[in-house]
Structure 1
């Protein structure tokens, strides 16, 4: 092939990449913004529990309603690997389309199930939502990292920042739609105003329609580079071999080339689960997500015990989404600059201390409580940018989606475990006992960080 022909081909691919690469990241952020409705659960739970407690069954309360959120996370863990396998079969666009449709369908169906029972709400707002998230979560990350292989931590941070930021829009929409007059709950923590309760079923239709529009736009933008485009992208930052798009015509087109792992070997899922490193990551994820699930579900109900301002508490949750989003970028960048081992050790230590001191915020008023919630959201957010990045770094990219999905099986354990602990302990030892228990769990996570292998 002549130099002129090579120049034309290289120019075509580079022009295409300059559009498709950022579009894939933007599409991933849009999709993750809707998946991030998960982080508005603490706000939405107060209205859902109140509605069901008053109009469906008096046995529905804050202690047992956390099962909805726990089944969401367990469903993610159970089906996350299916998202990776599906993406390899039908491609990223269709995988995201299927997952997003399932998620929004679960939210929409809650319009009906909230009139029936807690179990049916668990099936729609819990199980179906978790299934939708699991099918969709990993694909945008895999696409973004392959377009920008030299900036994996940053790109992962940007995309999952959308997940963290999702609660900003969801929480505000829920609160302004359901409680525009900022009416406080009763002393027992339940809303009884008929205007608020009457609007609860219809809010699920509004949320589902808004999400579907954002999701389908994101699905259209999502793409993965071809092997040739990937080769060009990997050399683009160094400015090398921009003309070498066909240097190896015999290269297999079945799998994209991988960036080097620490071991130099790309592992399939069955090989990955035979390594000690996988179980270190699995335990870190398990312990950290127990804490994350608890603060996400219970921060508002805890705040209601000493703050009687619904809009203020909703505002805390909204701005916590910003800290959640920014934290993912910051922690991802910290890993790029240092290492996973350093970043995750700092993160788990900070989180342990913050949970241990969280009960003190009831003596600090609004400002103290607000600061602690925001710091916790900023800190825990790093788990979701550090873990996906280190999985790719440790085990390679060809089977990344499936490998990360298997790591997510830790949530099958953490979700139900969290719900069972909360249901048993909340009435017995109160919020203080629960927060201190979570802090003890996180201290185990700190210890496990010392087992992370060198080079990660």
Structure 2
């Protein structure tokens, strides 16, 4: 087993900090629920009266689909080009997609989906995994915590993005009109330019983050393994034996499964199903929490503040779930997570009926964000634990393909069911998915 490389130098801390800065920008994804109210209002008022909130959810769906499709490519690029260059490519594409939305917002929902959906999703997919893979090489004995720290940046990203969007676009705290859309001309006039401002901020943070990324020098890492070439030959020679012997369980410490070997195990598909179900819940609350709040709360600053502070819960929750997995197991942690999501989504529709709906709504949203974020700590960590570190980025990218299907399911759920059964029915449907995910998790192999 590889011994831990020296971690007391600035390069080790720099790699973690660089990963956090990059993920802070990628975490703009979680501000979509806030931005969609302004984006949809602009499209509805200035482009086409036929545009509704359910149409714009497809922008978010395409972002998720692009992440799922291109995440494996990010792993391949990281192995060939290194984490720094891979992250640079992803960062440029993401910031470009955000900036170009200044133009596409005047065209159509489809055009916005191509820039703020497809390009942003592609950029996130290329830059997402590399910082975690890089930092885990510096801290091999604290992988759960390190992953938690970095993806905490992803969760915290919406704090800045949501605050920036709201105070830039709606400084006077104008409420939506009875139609459910913003109609103030001054507010709507600022919508295109907000994408330029966000792109500039993201580009600055991404540049600094990419410069800080580095991997430990090979000469500093003490190892008892054979050479890489000998290990690859050994892995290839034992492919069939490993695929059959470890199809239900976890790899031995000496094993590093290639993507092809991993795809031959039943464990991969078991984890893939869990990831898929969880991302349905995540995608739905992220896209609709503010539009749901607008049905009974008319204070836009309050709703934006709830979304901004949700980022803190999103970030701190990632640290909590990372430490919980380090202290227990993936199976135990995931059971706690899915059970909590089931309860929270079941009770979320009750918040307007309480004596203090504002406080109940805020608490419910914050608890959901604190809980669901654990998925993005537990899944990458269990991928490395179950299938090895050598092909981690590509293997995790294959697991992340769940986003392709979950993005479609989230948008379809919102568009087909929202008008038929309302938010209450949709939230209860998501709660059912979480209950099913708990059942699936219980059948994971022992020791995982």
Q: TM-score, normalised by structure 2?
A: 0.92
| Aligned residues of 1:51 and 1:200 also touching (Cα < 8 A) | yes
- Tell me which of 103, 109, 114 is aligned to 2:100: 109
Q: 1:187 offset after TM fit, Å?
A: 2.0
Q: 1:366-387, CA deviations, whole angstroms, 9 ceiling, x for partnerless residues?
A: 0000000000000001000010
How many Å separate the matches in 2 of 1:432 and 1:254?
Answer: 58
Across the two proteins, how many residue pairs are aligned to each other? Answer: 425
Report the equivalent of 1:383. Answer: 375
SS class of match (1:231): coil
How many Å separate the matches in 1 of 2:230 and 2:265?
Answer: 26
- Tell me which of 244, 252, 255 is aligned to 1:263: 252
Report the equivalent of 2:407. Answer: 415
How many Å separate the matches in 1 of 2:132 and 2:151?
Answer: 8
SS class of match (1:137): helix
| Aligned residues of 1:306 and 1:362 also touching (Cα < 8 A) | yes
- Tell me which of 420, 424, 438 is aligned to 1:428: 420
1:394 aligns with 2:383: no
1:121 aligns with 2:112: yes
Q: Which moved more, 1:414-423 or 1:319-328?
A: 414-423
| Aligned residues of 1:227 and 1:253 also touching (Cα < 8 A) | no
Give 1:320-339 correspondences, 5 Å limit. 320-339=310-329
- Tell me which of 434, 453, 456 is aligned to 2:445: 453
How many Å separate the matches in 1 of 2:446 and 2:20?
Answer: 32
How many Å separate the matches in 2 of 1:32 and 1:90?
Answer: 19
Report the equivalent of 2:140. Answer: 149
- Tell me which of 336, 339, 360 is aligned to 2:350: 360
Report the equivalent of 2:331. Answer: 341
Give 1:212-251 correspondences, 5 Å limit. 212-231=203-222, 251=227
Report the equivalent of 1:443. Answer: 435
1:174 aligns with 2:165: yes
SS class of match (2:142): helix
Q: 1:420 offset after TM fit, Å?
A: 1.1
| Aligned residues of 1:147 and 1:230 also touching (Cα < 8 A) | no
1:135 aligns with 2:126: yes
Q: 1:17 offset after TM fit, Å?
A: 5.3
| Aligned residues of 1:146 and 1:230 also touching (Cα < 8 A) | no
Q: 1:250-288, CA deviations, whole angstroms, 9 ceiling, x for partnerless residues?
A: 7348999x9xx7434210011101111101110111000
Q: 1:402-434, CA deviations, whole angstroms, 9 ceiling, x for partnerless residues?
A: 000000001100001111121011111110111
Change (3 A) 1:313 1:254: farther
Q: 1:185 offset after TM fit, Å?
A: 0.4
* Structure 1 residues not aligned, in runs of 5+: 1-12, 233-246
How many Å separate the matches in 1 of 2:386 and 2:228?
Answer: 23
Q: 1:224 offset after TM fit, Å?
A: 1.3
How many Å separate the matches in 1 of 2:375 and 2:136?
Answer: 17
Report the equivalent of 1:318. Answer: 308
Report the equivalent of 1:93. Answer: 84
How many Å separate the matches in 2 of 1:254 and 1:217?
Answer: 38
Report the equivalent of 1:369. Answer: 361
How many Å separate the matches in 2 of 1:252 and 1:416?
Answer: 41
| Superposition CA RMSD, Å | 1.7
| Aligned residues of 1:157 and 1:329 also touching (Cα < 8 A) | yes
SS class of match (2:9): helix
Q: Which moved more, 1:43-52 or 1:414-423?
A: 414-423
| Aligned residues of 1:17 and 1:229 also touching (Cα < 8 A) | no
Q: 1:188 offset after TM fit, Å?
A: 2.5
| Aligned residues of 1:43 and 1:317 also touching (Cα < 8 A) | yes
Report the equivalent of 1:7. Answer: none
Q: 1:226 offset after TM fit, Å?
A: 2.8
